Amino acid sequence: MADRLDRLVGESLTAAVHTRTAPLEILAWEAPGEPVPFADAACQRYAPFAVGEPWGRPWSTLWLRVRGTLPGEWPRDARHRPEVVVDLGFDGLMPGFQAEGLAFRPDGTVVKAVSPRNSHLPVVGAEIDYFLELAGNPGIPPESHWRSTRLGDRATAGVEPLYRLRRLEIALVDVGVWELLQDIEVVRGLAEQLPADGPRALQLWSALDRMMDAIDPDDVSGTVLVARRALAPALAAPAAASAHTVLATGHAHIDTAWLWPVRETVRKCARTFSNALALMDEHPDFRFACSSAQQLAWVKESYPGLFARIREKVASGQFVPVGSQWVEPDTNMPGSEATVRQLVHGKRFFLEEFGLETREVWLPDTFGYSAALPQIMKLAGVDWFMTQKISWNQTNAMPHHTLAWEGIDGTRIFAHFPPIETYNAELSAAELAHAERTYRDHDAGTVSLAPFGWGDGGGGPTREMLAAARRQADLEGSPRVRLGSPGDFYTAAIQEVDELPVWRGEMYLELHRGTLTSQLRTKQGNRRCEELLHEAELWATTAAVQAGTGYPYDALDRLWKRVLMLQFHDILPGSSISWVHREAEADHTAIVRELEGMVAVSLDALRVAGEDGPLLYANATAVWLAGVPPHAVAAPADPAGAARFEETADGWVLTNGIVRAVVDRRGLLVSLQGPDGREAIPAGEAAALLRLHRDAPGKWDAWDIERDDLRHAVDLTELEQLGVVTEDGAVVVRCVRRFGSSSVTEELTLAPGRAAVDIALDVDWQHRGRLLKLMFPLDVHAEETRSETQFGHLARPTHANTSWDAARFEVSGQRWIHVGEPGYGVAIANDSTHGHSVQRRTRTDGGTTTMIGMSVIRGPRFPDPDADRGRHRVRFSLRPTANIADACEEGLRLAHPLRPVRSSRPAEALVTCTDPHVLIEAVKLADDRSGDVVVRLYEASGGRRRATVRASFPVAGVQRTDLLERPLDPPVGASEPSSVAFELRPFEIVTLRYRRARVG
């Protein structure tokens, strides 16, 4: 029967959808370079163009002018619908990954888009007159995995046309035939999901058999109503009372960049959102969720008329802003304040543009989720969280689909993982059956979420998907489908359970571990921009309060938004085409230049003397550095203990009165002792050892690191050069290692007064399919490691007792990692590394070696075949006899080196804290431009603390606020607002807003 049905659909019904066609006049103009606005394209000289002609050089834009008249003899009744049908040369498989088009009326009004599964345009009235902007985007299948492509860079993509216009004409749709095809799709799809010998499946196949008997292939139009009546009873049977409910919300996960550049995403947004608006006009109950403030901001700027229509649909409740963030970012690598600002800028955009406060974080496709997020979300006014990416885990499945997620501080937030396990659902019977089978909480809940619509490359929902939703709204054998918004789902789900199961800690994605390392330049640029944004805000605020200078509100707002955009989960993770990363690197460079200028202007405003004044130093960190107080400008302390070295038969001994280090003739660190004299490196082993691993993921090249590849490695011990010198009072061991076409210059430095050995790698990287790690064997019996995350740190076991532990063979960290046993620890800090591995083994002497492998650089072939080729500089520090506070200090020292300032007067910190374990993360002026000073701080040790925060400027009042700087209850109870005492729970975040007192 299935073969007979396939033939009927393919041979007769599909062809009968369009009963008549008529030609259109086609004229064309090709944009000479990058895309142009409609107004520019509309006034160009167009030349004749015909169906069958080639078009579409990679990344080019072709504009068509399409005109015609609806034939007068065509019927105009409810059974027929005229439309323009377009085939740009589609392969029919993946919307968003090939050619696309956007239709405009002659007045510039956006109509809707055309793509492989949404290839029609409306006909209103008798005259047709459209401009079509065709994007010649090359198809780069994500399933290329490891096969190199040159299509990701316009300079190497070629100039030959990729497409041929196959169809562009007016067609008359037989509505009944189209509806019959939707009926068949649902009935057959459901029958294939049910037990073949069960009564419901047999009834469905029988109904299909009767339908095929009723339809006349030679008179499809005349017999279609009879055929539909044959299927009607099967489609009218209601679902069981116990059937699961799927809350279906329209969606289009548009990657802000991936296999296309950012500029193309702007156009994808216009295409997708216009499609959604067109469906809303036809289906008032349809809801479409849009999760990225940045994408709507682009539409507001580039397509103001379309944005005005979006506003109307937001007001009607059909277009639903969700997500609360500026983009859908990576959550492991962005720092503390950047994670906050994603929510601040995202929520504020939705509030200012639509008057709506979004209540969810919506991250369907991000590669793992930081354990700091629950508290940060709550402090931004978020109630719940959604992702489906966690279903991609290679080893372990999450035990629940609806649960409470507990962060490092104890905050819990409602979380949901749609059991349909895709954010690109078509609402097919197979997908719905999968959702019902997969859902793990049937004992407590009856509803799950299903985001439906073409995504990744955009496109969104289609009329076929809505037809499927309607037919499966209440259908025997299927989950019930209800159209609604994400808020409708949350309201229904939260009411079903009295107590949710709890997941504590990070949501580690057991996949895509390589994204912590791919595209090092992009990651370094992000880290440096974050550091400079912190410094620019701090010193601009200090200058505004102490010197009365203006505050660069507009510039900081603009730069923050650009940095946040570049944290999108296919940009910062390094998984985009070459074009994207070259632009990101250029953007980061420009941002760094502007922020450095901003810092210089602020520090200059704080100076009292000119260039001949004494040399002071500006400390932008929350800890004392070289005797300079936190967030102040002051004279440094004289370093104690000069660094010196002694040559031995086996190498060199470096000392400075605090640390003793031994470097052997291979240039490797074979001994390290702190002030207590305890040895940090096991006998016979070497730290700061470069290890080259094989790196050949089976599928996702830029994304993955395979466990087996970590077992295949070569230690790089051969030397090309080795020498020891003294520079600026420090001892530097410098060695050059060459391996194949790549080389590394490694410097081990012991400076006066330093409690750590500093390590710098200058890498000339040319390898493909290799992973370079920097190895640190440590003589520490560590049951767990502690790695910095946003506003705290995360503990992970060093053992592999369970499959969950074993799956964490490459994990994320930010500026430092600490390993310790009672009374002793070692810290490793970095300036731009995010991925690391940890192994523990028992030695023959009975001791324990904890091996830390810091992932430095990779060489993936896809999607950027030249990822990270070239020169890089990466810095680390290794500190023995270190506690958590020492680890924090090392990370901050690398992030914010002291800045020299010529001034005869120190600049006092605006705000200080009495407890060194409570760190001030941000100092800024309030976003509402009131002049209030906003200070964000957090408990950093993981313990309960009592601290007093003191302001050095006149204060009229102080409030505790949420992350959007809105007052929280209860108010701060302080008789003297310039001095506020707090008790903080472990890792608690506190934001204080100071109203400055008028002076004089």
Other C-beta atoms closer than 10 Å to the C-beta of 141 total: 14
CA-to-CA distance for 602 and 550, rounded, in angstroms? 9
Which whole number is the average pLDDT over 898-917?
95
CA-to-CA distance for 721 and 713, rounded, in angstroms? 23
Amino acid (one-letter) located at 267? R
Contacts of residue 156, defined as CB under 8 A and 6 or more positions apart, other chains included, come to 150
Closest listed residue to residue 875, CA positions, set 640, 524, 449, 610? 524
pLDDT for 638 equals: 85
pLDDT tens-digit readout, 517-576: 999 999 999 999 999 999 999 999 999 999 999 999 999 999 999 999 999 999 999 999
Share above pLDDT 90 across residues of the chain, in percent, rounded to a whole number: 95
Beta strands 360-362; 384-386: pairing state:
parallel
pLDDT for 611 equals: 67
Closest listed residue to residue 777, CA positions, set 864, 700, 705, 837? 837
| 33, 263, 637 from 586: Cα distances, Å | 20, 15, 38
Q: Residue 676: pLDDT band by 50, 70, 90 thresholds?
A: very high
CA-to-CA distance for 798 and 787, rounded, in angstroms? 12
pLDDT for 774 equals: 98
Q: Residue 141: pLDDT band by 50, 70, 90 thresholds?
A: confident
Give the HSE-up count for residue 173: Cα atoms under 13 Å, Cβ half-sphere. Answer: 16
Structure tokens at 337: 């304040």
Share above pLDDT 70 across residues of the chain, in percent, rounded to a whole number: 99
pLDDT(578) > 80 = yes
pLDDT for 312 equals: 98
Q: Which residues of 648-680 are buried (b: 16+ CB within 10 A; e: fewer)?
A: eeebbbbbbebbbbbbbebbbbbbbbbeeeeeb
| Longest distance between any two alpha carbons in the chain, whole Å | 101
Cis (ω within 30 of 0) for the bond into 217?
A: no
Strand order in the sheet with 792-797: 721-727, 730-739, 742-750, 757-765, 870-879, 824-830, 816-821, 784-789, 792-797
Contact 50, 169 (CB under 8 A): no
Other C-beta atoms closer than 10 Å to the C-beta of 966 total: 12
pLDDT for 529 equals: 98
CA-to-CA distance for 441 and 404, rounded, in angstroms? 13
pLDDT(975) > 90 = no
pLDDT(641) > 90 = no
Average pLDDT over the chain reads: 96
Contacts of residue 917, defined as CB under 8 A and 6 or more positions apart, other chains included, come to 885, 939, 940, 941, 943, 945
Amino acid (one-letter) located at 865? P
Q: Residue 610: pLDDT band by 50, 70, 90 thresholds?
A: low
Identify the H or E element spanning 204: helix 199-214
Name the one residue in this structure whose structure tokens are 């001791």.
847
Beta strands 288-292; 245-251: pairing state:
parallel
pLDDT(144) > 90 = no
457, burial (CB in 10 Å: exposed 0-12, middle 13-18, buried 19+): buried
What one-character DSSP code corresponds to residue 318?
S
Structure tokens at 416: 């949901």
CA-to-CA distance for 368 and 513, rounded, in angstroms? 9
pLDDT for 974 equals: 66
CA-to-CA distance for 497 and 495, rounded, in angstroms? 6
CA-to-CA distance for 170 and 749, rounded, in angstroms? 74
CA-to-CA distance for 592 and 589, rounded, in angstroms? 5
For 399-442, strand residue ranges (E) read: 402-406, 412-416
Q: Residue 998: pLDDT band by 50, 70, 90 thresholds?
A: confident
pLDDT tens-digit readout, 179-202: 999 999 999 999 999 999 999 999
Q: Residue 810: pLDDT band by 50, 70, 90 thresholds?
A: very high
pLDDT for 612 equals: 72
pLDDT(824) > 80 = yes
pLDDT(614) > 80 = yes
Q: Residue 723: pLDDT band by 50, 70, 90 thresholds?
A: very high
CA-to-CA distance for 334 and 413, rounded, in angstroms? 21
- Sign of the CA dihedral with 167 first, then 170, 171, and 175 last: positive
Closest listed residue to residue 661, CA positions, set 576, 754, 561? 754
Structure tokens at 707: 């466990």
Q: What is the 3-state secondary structure (H, E, C) of 17-28?
A: CEEEEEECEEEE
Which whole number is the average pLDDT over 691-699?
95
CA-to-CA distance for 471 and 234, rounded, in angstroms? 10
pLDDT for 972 equals: 80
Contacts of residue 831, defined as CB under 8 A and 6 or more positions apart, other chains included, come to 524, 527, 815, 874, 875, 876, 894, 895
Provide the residue count of the chain: 1000
Phi and psi at 364, nearest 5°, equal: -65, -25
CA-to-CA distance for 814 and 677, rounded, in angstroms? 29
CA-to-CA distance for 323 and 469, rounded, in angstroms? 24
CA-to-CA distance for 87 and 67, rounded, in angstroms? 16
Amino acid (one-letter) located at 730? A
CA-to-CA distance for 714 and 725, rounded, in angstroms? 29
Closest listed residue to residue 864, CA positions, set 584, 579, 588? 579
Q: What is the DSSP string of 205-263?
A: HHHHHHHHHH--TT-HHHHHHHHHHHHHHHHHSPPPTT--EEEEEEE--B-SSSSS-HH
Q: Which member of 87, 365, 456, 587 is catalytic?
A: 365
pLDDT(793) > 90 = yes
Contacts of residue 395, defined as CB under 8 A and 6 or more positions apart, other chains included, come to 510, 803, 804, 806, 807
**Could you confirm whether 365 is annotated as catalytic?**
yes
pLDDT(1000) > 70 = no
CA-to-CA distance for 801 and 110, rounded, in angstroms? 58
pLDDT for 609 equals: 65
pLDDT for 401 equals: 98
CA-to-CA distance for 291 and 252, rounded, in angstroms? 9
Closest listed residue to residue 103, CA positions, set 269, 262, 270? 270
Which whole number is the average pLDDT over 732-739?
98
pLDDT for 639 equals: 78
